[in-house]
Amino acid sequence: MAGERSGEDVVSEYLGQNPQLARWVDSLRGYCESGKQWSARREFLLRNMEAFPTVEPGVPSGSLDRLLSLSTVWANRVFLGCSYPQAVMDKIAEMGEGIVVQDPPVHKTTKDGMMARGKRSNTGEVDADGCVKRAKCGSNEVGGQKWGPPPQAPAEHQPFFNRLYKAVAWKLVSAGGFGPNLDHFEILRSCVESCKQTVTCVFVPLKDIEGLPAGRTQKDGHVCEIRCQSVYMGTGYGRDEAAAKAMASKEALKVFQGRKVTVKICRRRFKGKDVEDLMLLDEQPRSQGFPPALGYPFQDEQQPAEDGTS
pLDDT tens column, 249-302: 999 999 998 889 999 999 888 887 888 999 999 887 765 678 888 888 876 443
Residue 90 to residue 95: CA distance in whole angstroms: 9
Assess whether pLDDT exceeds 60 at residue 119. no
Q: What is the pTM of this model?
A: 0.53
pLDDT digits (tens, 9 = 90+) for 165-224: 999 988 888 888 777 788 999 999 999 999 988 999 988 888 777 655 555 555 678 899
**Is residue 243 in some structural domain?**
yes
Report pLDDT digits (tens) over 63-82.
888 888 888 888 888 887 77
- N-to-C CA span, the chain: 26
The predicted structure's pLDDT at residue 13: 73
User: What are the angstrom distances between the C-alpha of 243 and each of 154, 203, 235?
Assistant: 30, 11, 12
Count CB atoms within 10 A of the CB of residue 26.
11
Q: Is residue 305 part of a domain?
A: no
232 membership: H or E segment, kind and range: strand 231-238
Domain-located, residue 308: no
Query: Last residue of some domain: 105, 123, 141?
Result: 123
User: Residue 218: which domain range?
Assistant: 153-298
Q: How many domains is the chain built from?
A: 2
Residue 118: pLDDT band with limits 50, 70, 90: very low
Residue 5 predicted with pLDDT over 90? no
pLDDT at 269: 86
Cα separation of 287 and 244, whole Å? Answer: 23
